[in-house]
A and B are shown apart, each in its own frame.
Chain A
Amino acid sequence: MKAKLLLFSIAWLAFITVSHISTNIGFERFQKKVRVALTEERDELIVGFLPVT
């Protein structure tokens, strides 16, 4: 019974986590964040400019 409860809890936790990433963060962004945290990759932002003044 305890094993079943533990398995159910783990499965529920995994389901909630995946749902949260999918709904609120997005997998692409999540993967990018993981790569930035764990590898040499940096957060990146491209800033455009329009030299018209």
Chain B
Amino acid sequence: MTKHSDEGSLFRSQKFGDWPTVKEALISKEIGAVFILAPMAMQLRLDGIPIKVCYLGHRDGTAIVVGKDSDIHDFGDLAGKICAIPSRYANQNILMHKMMRKWNMEPDSIDLREVPPPEHPTALLSGSIDAYIVGEPFAAKAELGGYGRVLYHTKDIWEDFISCVLVVREDLIIDERELVQELIDGIAKSGKWLDEDQEHRMDAAEMAARGDYSPQSPDLLKYVLSKPVDRVKYTNLAPLKKDFDEIMELAYEIGVLSDRIEFEEYADDSFVKPLSELDWNMDKLASGNEPKSGGK
């Protein structure tokens, strides 16, 4: 996300460490929007927090990782093993249950344990877990480190997998539509720019690593954005009812959600524009943020 939109509005990011703090920040209006896990957004709405899912952060970008020399070669081999998940509210948890059903496995046949994502690779290396499912760059980290192997990329087992979503406070959706539209247009334009040229992705990795955006090395980010090139996608980010209905139903059935909830109650896709209408005006980007290769 850029700090300044074409229109000059200022968008600042703020990192949170846990879910209750995010909830409080939304209630106190300390933040206007937040990227969180899709099932978490549904549960927030069920808890009465006036928010709506307006856009996605990305598609795919998650992998199931096992030890490089492990005897796990397909999903069935995970039976009886310990697998780390980022959170019970993560769509990665929902995916594991979906796969267990597909492979006719009992819901408790894999020991799923909540582990903070940055600790997944080290836990695998130390042998305290047999596998993990996590968003990037923590899957690539074990691969690049030479001790992990990707069992499945989500793109191969759940097409257009959704992990994190952009949630916006409902009062802003009503009162500050232009500002919210600027934010969503910015995310959409950034995604389009990233996906239209591999060189743009490499520039983005350099920019993210040298700024305050990511503590990860540029080499790791470049790996994530290129090996393979569709490992994570930044287009097709409109929240679609069919995708969310599937997540909601599975999340409810496995007890992650306290109740069922209709898509219209927690989502608002009215800010989504066709990508053909969106392009960065590269001349207006804040100084110091211009990518080397330019763009449209």
Contact = CB atoms under 8 A, between A and B. Distances in A.
Contact of A47 (B17, B91, B183): B183
Interface string B236-256: 000000000000000000000
Nearest to A40: B8
Nearest to B89: A52
A49 interface: yes
Contacts of B86: 52-53
A37 B14 CA distance: 26
Given A53-B37, A53-B90, A53-B134, A47 B11 contact: yes
A42 B34 CA distance: 20
Contact of A44 (B12, B13, B164): B12
Nearest to A29: B175
> Interface size for chain B: under 10, 10 to 19, 20 to 34, or 35 or more residues?
35 or more
Interface string B77-93: 00000000011001110
Contacts of B4: 42
B117 interface: yes
A47 B12 contact: yes
B90 A48 contact: no
B13 A49 contact: yes
Given A46-B30, A46-B33, A51-B15, 12 more contacts: A42-B9, A45-B10, A47-B11, A47-B13, A47-B32, A47-B183, A50-B19, A52-B37, A52-B86, A52-B117, A53-B62, A53-B91
Which 3 interchain pairs have the tightest Cβ spacing? A53-B135, A48-B34, A43-B9
